[in-house]
Amino acid sequence: MGKDIFLKRVYDTPSTNDGFRVLVDRVWPRGLTKEKAKVDLWLKDIAPSSALRKWFAHDINKWPAFVEKYQAELKLNKSAVNTISQIASKQKCTLLFGAKDTEHNQAVVLLKFLQQLKI
């Protein structure tokens, strides 16, 4: 893989070590200003569809099915995947997400998907 890709909650304090910060949520995080978030790119098109996000509703029991459905969406979303792939191939990149669960969210799935592409 090219440069490093990291995951971080968008609510956590931004750091110069984050590199290029990409918000991968479809909805802007509640209570967070654009200045405080320090997002370089809001790539909402790479997030799960609204229907998939609402269906999942962070229900851990739906996690395996969510992973499968979101990966299927990513395979059809070549434009957004190419955008993030190009960024990550050139520089350190941090995928930002708003979910409280740091192990079961779309950024985790997206990171594994990108790693399989071997950027």
Helix (H) or strand (E) holding 101: none
Q: What is the pLDDT of residues 6-39, one digit of tens each?
A: 999 999 999 999 999 999 999 999 999 999 999 9
Q: Tell whether the model's pLDDT for residue 73 goes beyond 60.
A: yes
State the pLDDT at residue 32.
95
Q: What is the pLDDT of residues 87-101, one digit of tens each?
A: 999 999 999 999 999
- Return phi, psi of residue 100, to 5°: -75, -35
Phi-psi region of 14 (alpha: psi -120 to 50; beta: other; left: phi over 0): beta
CA angle 77, 82, 85 (to 5 degrees): 125
Output the 3-class SS for 6-72: EEEECCCCCCHHHCEEEECCCCCCCCCCHHHHCCCEECHHHCCCHHHHHHHCCCHHHHHHHHHHHHH
Helix (H) or strand (E) holding 93: strand 93-97
State the pLDDT at residue 118.
72
